[in-house]
């Protein structure tokens, strides 16, 4: 059994994600899954003492005093050592020192051409609560929590914790069985093959160059969630999806953030079943720069969605089940947009068969084959297997494997008990040297539009097989 001699006001338990924790006493003290860690905060020492040892292998324990504000989990990304060589600099300590020296933001008072302007407040109250080799828990004021991505080292991400425990919702067995049934009947369909091959690489180039601002016709400098450019991108995405036959809305969720772009295709059958594919259209640039082009992260996933929508329109696809194509904002600040939307769908009792998030599809590491990376821990294994099988059928050129890179908007849906997975550019850690960098453009070495198409074919094939379809015209 797990023993601890901590005597603090509250105990912090951070363990590798384990759905079985939903069946333990700890589930009452669950503060979400952040990165790949399930976070629990409790005063119940007896519950902690009764936890089986295997639950906390690879985890960490800590204490939390009463004088904390907004808690934020910081997680270092899994990155290839060639991209991030070892360093003697303690990145978290340097980050905290810089953050404490910066003036604290007050509520938004104005927006300039590319950045949100905050009133300069007093010095920030930043506190390190817990630290491990690749993660940290900090306490900051709520305004600072929304802006941490602008100060973090590029290979670290921030995940805000809720203020109270949240339900630990595993994916229901009935939902898993539904995916298993789809898997059991999966086979090659020549019509699906024709449809997915209709995706246009030429159009990818045009779309991503608009989103990054590389096109002379684009006004976008940044797609940071608080920028002017991200609002331009939202309107542009909505207009394009609507011109291609979808019904769309710009869905706000939190003041200051750009809206989610939610597009729908009603099914021809009388059913509430829905299949959802997504990407995030906000971006993150280099520290100190207003430029955040996000060509790979996640202009590549967003243009893949547009490519799928263009193929749907060209070929006259009518889905039998309901379909949603969603472009989320707020991903870089901690999955805000998808978190709000997934929670809304849960509260409405949505009948979501599955969702597949596309995040970073374009970087093709030199000397490696084109790849498809699937999440090694966060997500529904049966959905991941379905996507892997569809890749073998329709994009056999991709080498398929698992990636420890974590986590994108699929985590928000997984946390609400919806079957979900992610598609990523590499079966391994992050290898893009322009990750969270103002140089993340499409016009650079190893930005591979053919790989985007190969992965988009898999996402589109998932829609076609799971939602079902008819061809209603020869458009």
| CA–CA gap between residue 285 and residue 331 (Å, rounded) | 13
List the pLDDT tens digit at each of the 475 positions of the chain. 333 444 458 999 999 999 999 999 999 999 999 999 999 999 999 998 888 888 888 899 999 987 899 999 999 999 998 898 777 678 999 999 888 887 766 554 334 344 443 444 445 689 999 999 999 999 999 999 999 998 999 999 999 999 999 999 999 999 999 999 999 999 999 999 999 999 999 999 999 999 999 999 999 999 999 999 999 999 999 999 999 999 999 999 999 999 999 999 999 999 999 999 999 999 999 987 889 999 999 999 999 999 999 999 999 999 999 999 999 999 999 999 999 999 999 999 999 999 999 999 999 999 999 999 999 999 999 999 999 999 999 999 999 999 999 999 999 999 999 999 999 999 999 999 999 999 999 999 999 999 999 999 999 999 999 999 999 965 4
If you write DSSP's letter for every residue of 264-326 in order, what string do you get? Answer: EE--SSS---EEEEEEE------TT-S-B--TTTTHHHHHHHHHHHHHHHHHTEEESSEEEEE
Answer yes or no: are the C-beta atoms of 214 and 293 closer than 8 Å: yes
* SS3 at position 96: helix
What is this structure's pTM?
0.94
- Provide the sign of the torsion angle of the four alpha carbons 156, 157, 160, 166, taken in this order: negative
| CA–CA gap between residue 146 and residue 250 (Å, rounded) | 21
Contacts of 367 (CB under 8 A, 6+ apart): none
* SS3 at position 355: strand
Both tokens of residue 1?
């059994």
* Angle subtended by helix axes 449-467 and 299-315, to nearest 10: 50
* SS3 at position 124: coil
Q: Could you give phi then psi for residue 214, rounded to 5 degrees?
A: -70, -25
| CA–CA gap between residue 279 and residue 331 (Å, rounded) | 9
DSSP H helices, 220-319, are 228-243, 299-315
Q: What is the DSSP letter of 84?
A: S
């Amino acid at each position: 059994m797990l023993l601890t001699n901590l005597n603090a006001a509250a105990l912090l338990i951070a363990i590798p994600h384990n759905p079985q924790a939903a069946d333990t006493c700890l589930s009452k003290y669950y503060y979400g899954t952040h990165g790949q860690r399930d976070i629990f905060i409790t005063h119940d020492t007896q519950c902690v003492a009764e936890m089986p040892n295997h639950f906390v292998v690879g985890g960490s324990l800590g204490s939390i005093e009463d004088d904390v504000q907004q808690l934020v989990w910081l997680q270092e990304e899994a990155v290839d050592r060639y991209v991030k060589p070892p360093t003697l600099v303690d990145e978290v300590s340097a980050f905290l020192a810089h953050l404490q020296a910066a003036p604290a933001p007050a509520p938004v008072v104005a927006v300039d051409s590319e950045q949100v302007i905050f009133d300069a407040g007093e010095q920030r109250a930043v506190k390190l609560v817990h630290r491990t080799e690749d993660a940290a828990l900090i306490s900051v004021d709520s305004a600072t929590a929304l802006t941490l991505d602008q100060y973090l080292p590029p290979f670290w991400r921030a995940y805000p914790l809720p203020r109270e425990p949240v339900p630990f919702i595993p994916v229901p067995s009935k939902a898993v069985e539904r995916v298993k049934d789809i898997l059991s009947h999966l086979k090659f369909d020549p019509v699906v093959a024709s449809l997915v091959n209709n995706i246009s690489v030429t159009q990818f180039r045009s779309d991503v160059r608009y989103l990054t601002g590389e096109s002379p016709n684009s006004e976008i400098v940044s797609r940071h969630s608080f920028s002017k450019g991200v609002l331009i991108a939202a309107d542009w995405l909505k207009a394009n999806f609507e011109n291609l036959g979808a019904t769309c809305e710009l869905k706000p969720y939190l003041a200051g953030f750009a809206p989610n772009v939610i597009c729908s295709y009603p099914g021809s059958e009388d059913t509430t079943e829905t299949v959802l594919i997504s990407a995030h259209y906000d971006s993150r640039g280099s520290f100190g720069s207003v430029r955040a082009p996000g060509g790979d992260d996640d202009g590549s996933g967003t243009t893949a969605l547009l490519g799928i929508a263009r193929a749907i329109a060209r070929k006259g696809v009518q889905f039998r089940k309901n379909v949603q194509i969603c472009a989320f904002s707020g991903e870089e600040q901690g999955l805000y947009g998808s978190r709000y939307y997934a929670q809304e769908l849960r509260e409405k009792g949505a009948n979501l068969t599955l969702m597949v998030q596309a995040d970073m599809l374009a970087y093709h590491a030199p000397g490696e084959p084109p790849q498809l990376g699937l999440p090694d821990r966060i997500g529904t294994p049966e959905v991941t297997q379905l996507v892997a099988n569809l890749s073998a059928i329709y994009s056999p050129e991709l080498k398929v494997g698992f990636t420890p890179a974590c986590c994108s908007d699929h985590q928000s849906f997984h946390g609400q008990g919806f079957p979900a997975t992610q598609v990523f550019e590499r079966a391994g850690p992050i290898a893009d040297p322009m990750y969270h960098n103002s140089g993340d453009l499409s016009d650079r070495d190893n930005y591979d539009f053919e790989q985007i198409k190969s992965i988009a074919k898999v996402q589109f094939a998932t829609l076609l097989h799971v939602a079902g379809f008819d061809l209603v015209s020869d458009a």
